Amino acid sequence: MRKIVIHRPGSYEQLILEEHPDPEPAAGEVRIAVEAIGVNYADCMVRMGLYASAREIGWPITPGFEVAGTIDALGAGVDDVAVGSRVLAVTRFGGYATRVVVPVSQVFRAPARFTTAEAAGFAVVFLTASYALFELAHPRAGATVLVHSAAGGVGGALVQLARLAGCRVIAVVGAANKVEAARRSGAEEVIDKSSEALWTRAEALSPRGYDVVLDANGAATLRKSYGHLARGGKLVVYGFHSMIPRHGGRPNWMKLAIDWLRTPRFNPLRMTGENRSVLAFNLSYLFDRVELLREAIERLLEDADAGRIAPPPILTWPLGAVRQAHRALESGTTVGKLILASIRQ
C-alpha cells in the first residue's frame, strides 16, 4: 500500500508518499481499500507539530481522520459487516493511506445519495458541527446563530444543521466568491467581511445579540464573538485558524506568541454576571466515546439519506498531490471540502 508519512514537523515537504506492507486487521477490526480521503485543517496542524493529540503519539505519523472505500478484509469476530461493502470510516490519524485498518465500531455505511468522495468528506465536518450544536450549544428553534467561516466544510455543516433545528442562521465568509456557498447551505443572511464591517453588520442583523456563536478563528474574532452574545448566549470554540499563516506552511512563532497574548481569558465571575457561556472541544479527544460518535453519525446518515442535509462542495487532488492540497486549504481561498483521491493498491 501507499501512505503519507510525516517524519518530523514542518512545511509541505514533510508530507512524504511511501510504500508500506498492507496492514492486517486484528480481532474486531476491518481493513478498508481506500478510494477517497477527507482533508481537514487539523491535518495541517498535525504536519506543523501543533496538534496536541498528535504530539502524544509522536513521529513518524500518518495524518487523516476520515476515509471512504470498500471493506476488503475482516478481523476475527467481525460478522456485522461484509467484504465488498461500501463504507466510510473515522480514524484517529492514519487516514492518508490506500489501505486503512480501523475498529469495526468506527465504520459506517456510506450514504446512498453520496459519491465516494462526498462520503469521505462527510464524517468529520458533520460530527464536529453536530457536537458543537447539539451536545454543547443546544439551540432552541428560533434561536439566532452566527457561524464564522461558513463556506468551509464545518461551517457549511453548521449552517445546514442549525437551519434543520429551526434556527435563524447568519453566516460569515471571507470573500465574495464564498457568499453563494453559504446561501446554498441555508444561511438567511451572509456577511462578507472582505467588503463590509463584520461586527457593524452583525449588530444590524441581530441587535439583541446572538444565542449561539460558532468560532474556529481564534484571536482574530473570539473577543468580539463573546461580546456579541445575547443574554444566555453561548460561544462555541473549536479551532484557532487565524493564528496560522496562510502561506509558507510553517508556524510563525512570533505571530503565534502575539496571538496567544491576544486570545481572551474568560473570567467566570464576569461570565456569570453577564449570563454568557464559553464552550470548547477537540473532536480527536472524543474517540473513546464510541457510543456518542455512533449515535451522532447514525442520526446524520439518516438525515443524509432523506436529503435533509447535503455534502459540501468537493475539491479533489490525487494522493500524490497532498502538498498542493494542504497549501490550498491553508490559503483560505477554498470553498467546501478537500478530498484526496486514492488509487487502491
For position 343, what pLDDT does the model report?
59
Options 3.90.1150.10, 3.40.50.720, 3.30.429.10, 3.40.190.10; CATH of 125-284: 3.40.50.720
- Cell output for 232: 444566555
**Nearest CA-CA partner of 332 in 255, 252, 246:** 246
Out of 51-55, 120-124, 275-279, which region has the weakest mean confidence (pLDDT)?
51-55
- Cell output for 132: 458543537
Average pLDDT, the chain: 94
Q: Which tens digit of pLDDT belongs to each residue from 284-310? A: 888 778 888 889 999 999 999 999 999
Q: To the nearest whole percent, how much of the chain has pLDDT over 90?
A: 86
Domain with CATH 3.40.50.720 in the chain: 125-284
Instruction: Report whether pLDDT(128) > 80.
Output: yes
Alpha helices (H) along 123-281? 123-130, 153-164, 179-185, 198-205, 222-227, 253-262, 268-274
Dihedral pair phi/psi, residue 194, rounded to 5°:
-80, -15
Buried b (16+ CB within 10 A) or exposed e, 44-63: bbbbbbbbeebeeeeeebbb
What residue has cell string 486484528? 26
Helix (H, G, I), strand (E, B) or coil at 302: helix
The DSSP 8-state label assigned to residue 345 in this structure reads -
Q: What is the mean pLDDT of residues 148-173?
A: 97
Q: Which tens digit of pLDDT belongs to each residue from 238-288? A: 999 888 878 888 888 888 999 999 999 999 999 999 999 999 999 888 877
Domain with CATH 3.90.180.10 in the chain: 2-122+311-341
Q: Which tens digit of pLDDT belongs to each residue from 199-246? A: 999 999 999 999 999 999 999 999 999 999 999 999 999 999 888 878
Q: Which tens digit of pLDDT belongs to each residue from 14-49? A: 999 999 999 999 999 999 999 999 999 999 999 999
CA dihedral 292, 298, 340, 3 (to 10 degrees): 60
Question: What CA–CA distances, in Å, run from 339 to 39, 107, 150, 208, 328?
Answer: 6, 18, 18, 39, 12
Q: Which tens digit of pLDDT belongs to each residue from 82-107? A: 999 999 999 989 999 999 999 999 99
Instruction: Report whether pLDDT(345) > 80.
Output: no
The model's pTM is: 0.93
DSSP bridge partners of 338: 39, 315
Assign domain 2-122+311-341 to a CATH class: alpha beta
**Would you say 264 and 244 are in contact if contact means Cβ atoms under 8 Å apart?**
no
Q: Give me the numbers of helices (H) and strands (E) for the chain, helices first please.
A: 12, 15
Helix, strand, coil share of the chain (percent; to 5): 35, 25, 35
Instruction: Report whether pLDDT(344) > 60.
Output: no
Instruction: For residue 60, say if its preceding peptide bond is cis, omega within 30 degrees of 0.
Output: yes
Contact partners, residue 201, CB within 8 Å, separation at least 6: 191
